[in-house]
Amino acid sequence: MIVVVTLGSQPIQSFPTGIGSLADNGCTCHGGYSNSTQTSIHGMPVSFESNVSYNLTLSVEAETAPTADSAKGGFRFRVSDGAVDFHNLSRVQFLDEGWTHTEAGNQYRSWNLSWTAPSDNSTSVDFVLHANAVNGNGNSGGDMWNSIGYTLPGSQYDGSVVPLDVSEELDSRQYGILYGGLLALLVFLYFAIK
Full set of structural domains in the chain with CATH: 13-181 (2.60.40.10)
Beta carbons of 166 and 131 less than 8 angstroms apart: no
pTM of the model: 0.70
Instruction: Find the radius of gyration of the CA atoms of the chain.
Output: 19
Q: What is the dihedral of CA 10, 132, 88, 80, to 10 degrees?
A: 110
What integer best gives the mean pLDDT of the chain? 77
Residue 30 has pLDDT above 90, yes or no: no
- The contacts of residue 167 (CB under 8 Å, 6+ apart) are 25, 26
CB 89 within 8 A of CB 123: no
23: left (phi over 0), alpha (psi -120 to 50) or beta: alpha
Query: Of 25 and 114, which is predicted with more confidence?
Result: 114
- 58 or 182, higher pLDDT: 58
Q: In what order do the strands lie in the sheet with 53-61?
A: 38-42, 53-61, 110-116, 83-86
Residue of 15, 31, 44 whose CA lies nearest to 148: 44
Output the CA–CA distances (angstroms, integers) from residue 93 to 72, 164, 185, in the order listed: 17, 24, 29
> Mean pLDDT across the stretch 129-151?
79
Between CA 132 and CA 128 the distance in angstroms is 14
The answer to whether the CB of 99 falls within 8 A of the CB of 19 is no
Report, as an integer, the average pLDDT of 64-72. 73
What pLDDT does 4 receive? 35
Q: Which residue has the higher pLDDT, 47 or 62?
A: 47
